[in-house]
Amino acid sequence: MTTFSAPRTALAAVALHGVRRTYGAGASAVRAVDDVSVEFPRGTWTAVMGPSGSGKSTLLHCAAGLERVDAGRVLLGDTDLTTASDDQLTQLRRSRIGFVFQSFNLVGSLTAQQNVALPLRLAGSSPSRSEVRAVLAAVGMADRARHRPRELSGGQQQRVAIARAMVTRPEVLFADEPTGALDSGSARTVLALMRSMVEAGQTIVMVTHDPAAAASADATVFLRDGRVVDRLIGATTRDVADRLVALEG
């Protein structure tokens, strides 16, 4: 078995081994993630689904090194996130990890293009205007570069957030309900953007409630009560929806 798992690990962009995360203590303790082992292969797009409170966000945060784990290991390529120092994690966020969340998390005081340039500036480089414009153009926001977040619609803000995550060309993009606040048109644009990232060789881990969004991904992992209960590959919207209903029922 060991000979079998070793090469697979080498392929994974992110791998979780026996990860546990419990909130609170005693009677009120919640096992948000309960002994989860899962691998996200390089250059693939995986959707994470499950009922509300099943631990999807917690799993994502643990995988991204944002949340401490109580037990188990999280590997980003060959880097162990569970033992990384704060400075190492900061370096990873600058170069190898990107985030997109349901609430768009843009800096309100900066324009769209300043928001996109922010990760590069924090990393100490001064991106050229054309470089930033190119990324904004890729998400169809070139003409809104000088607008502040509050002057943009929700879908537009989300596209700026994705541009910000794309600009560092991270190995892995973690997305928590990236289409959750968008209408179906904007959602389709965002999903298409993500597909183009995967085609460029990046890896995406995406939490979603939307079967159509999950169907755009390569694989879907189902969670319930903090455990992985199922996995579908190349499923249609219909397959995913059925499985979800079965899970919640």
Partner 1 sequence: MLRLSWSSFVERWALFVGALVTVCFGVALVQSSLLVLISAATYQLPADLSVLERARYGEGTAIAITLSALTLAFSAFLAVFIVSSTFAFTVAQRRRDLALLRLVGGSRRQLHRLLVGEAVLLGGLGAALGIPVGLVVMRFQSGLLTMLGFAPPGFAAEWRNWILGVSAGVGIGVALAGVLVAASRAARVQPLEALRDTGESARVMTVGRWVIAGVFAAGAIALVVLAPIGGAGGAPPMAINAALCASVAMSAISPVLVPVVSRLLPSGAGVITGLAGANLRDGVRRSAATAAPLIVLVGLVLGQSVALASFASAGELDQRASTVADLVVEADGPVGPRVAAVAGVAAHSTEVEVPVTVTFTYDDDVDVEGGSGLVVDPVAYARFHPGTDAVAGLGGNAVVAGPGRGAGTPGSSGELRIGDTAAGPLHVVAEVPSRTGGGADLLLPGALVPADLLAQAPSRTFVELLPGADPATVAGALAGIGEVSTLDAWASRDAAARNATSISIFLVVMGLGAAYAVIGVINAGVIGAAARRTEFAVLRSTGLTRMQVVRAALVESLAVTGIGLLLGVGAAAGTFVAVAMSTAAMIGIPTITVPWAFVIAVGVGAVAICGVTSVITTVAGTRGNPVSLLAARE
Ligand X SMILES: Nc1ncnc2c1ncn2[C@@H]1O[C@H](COP(=O)(O)OP(=O)(O)OP(=O)(O)O)[C@@H](O)[C@H]1O
Which residues form the interface with ligand X (CB under 6 A)? 23-24, 30, 32, 50, 52-58
Q: Which residues 6+ apart lie within 8 Å of 248 measured at CB?
A: 51
Binding to Mg ion by residue 208, rule CB under 5 A?
Answer: no
Residue nearest to Mg ion (CB): 57
Binding to partner 1 by residue 85, rule CB under 8 A?
Answer: no
Considering CB distances under 5 to 8 angstroms, the limit depending on partner class, which of partner 1, ligand X, Mg ion, none binds residue 107?
partner 1
Q: How many residues does the chain have?
A: 249
Q: How far is the CB of 186 from ligand X (least distance, A)?
A: 20
Which of positions 91-150 make contact with partner 1 (CB under 8 A)?
93-94, 99, 101, 103-110, 114, 118-119, 121-123, 149-150
Indicate the residue among 106 and 190 with the shorter CB distance to partner 1.
Answer: 106
Q: How many CB atoms lie within 10 A of CB 43?
A: 15
Q: How far is the CB of 7 from partner 1 (least distance, A)?
A: 32
Q: Are strands 30-41 and 12-23 parallel, antiparallel or unpaired?
A: antiparallel
Q: How many CB atoms lie within 10 A of CB 3?
A: 6
What angle do helix axes 154-166 and 129-138 make, rounded to 10 degrees?
A: 130
DSSP letter, residue 11: H
In the complex, the residues that contact Mg ion under the rule CB under 5 A are 57
